[in-house]
Chain A
């Protein structure tokens, strides 16, 4: 069964802390994505990666960085968390090189920054 897992379902951090969100997929997918979801705004793409050590900015990359050292793992890093980064973070993966593929999602991490 296809699986995308995220390291935490709920996370509470303090302003200024460095935060790591981990995502692992077991489908040997090429592409991995990080989104944030906020009420009324849908899902917005933060970063994605189409290969190990490769990354591309999405629509809202400011304040975030990513790391993909292994094909199955994609990490989202908040260098210095701020309250406006309180949100639901969703990781996804997809197999294709050319687009048009379904994305498979993890359960999400609800991050609260105090």
Chain B
């Protein structure tokens, strides 16, 4: 079973629109970490945020915000007032430290976001 699901393969919005990228995860562990990474056209993945399973507070950083809901096993990412520079592939990832593969990240398949001018 897929542990991290990003159902949206591609999203296209017009500049200044808000956009939400969905991430649903699956784990039996009570302690786990969730991540979002951005991969711009240059190719290098850039870390955006890490959230542990005991911290359900939503996070806001400028135009970015994250909504973590354990009840629905979701960790969604919203970009407010999107800009062309936000165009990238966004990955959600899961880490389960108590598992046999403690140091690994399990990535979703990614969402390609295109922001049109």
Q: Is the CB of B47 within 8 A of A104?
A: yes
Among A43, A48, A101, chain B packs the most CB atoms within 10 A around the CB of A43
Q: B42 contacts which chain A residues (CB < 8 A)?
A: 107
A sample of 14 cross-chain residue pairs with beta-carbon separation below 8 angstroms, ordered by A number, consists of A40-B9, A42-B4, A42-B6, A42-B91, A42-B107, A42-B110, A43-B107, A50-B103, A98-B97, A98-B102, A99-B97, A100-B52, A107-B44, A108-B43
Q: Is A19 an interface residue (CB 8 A)?
A: no
Please report the C-alpha to C-alpha distance between residue A108 and residue B107 in the assembled complex, in whole angstroms: 16
List A31-75 residues whose CB lies under 8 Å from chain B: 31, 33, 35, 40-45, 48, 50, 58
Please report the C-alpha to C-alpha distance between residue A14 and residue B17 in the assembled complex, in whole angstroms: 46
Tell whether A102 pairs with B108 under 8 Å between CB atoms, given A48-B103, A90-B45, A107-B43: no
| Nearest CB of A to B101, in Å | 8
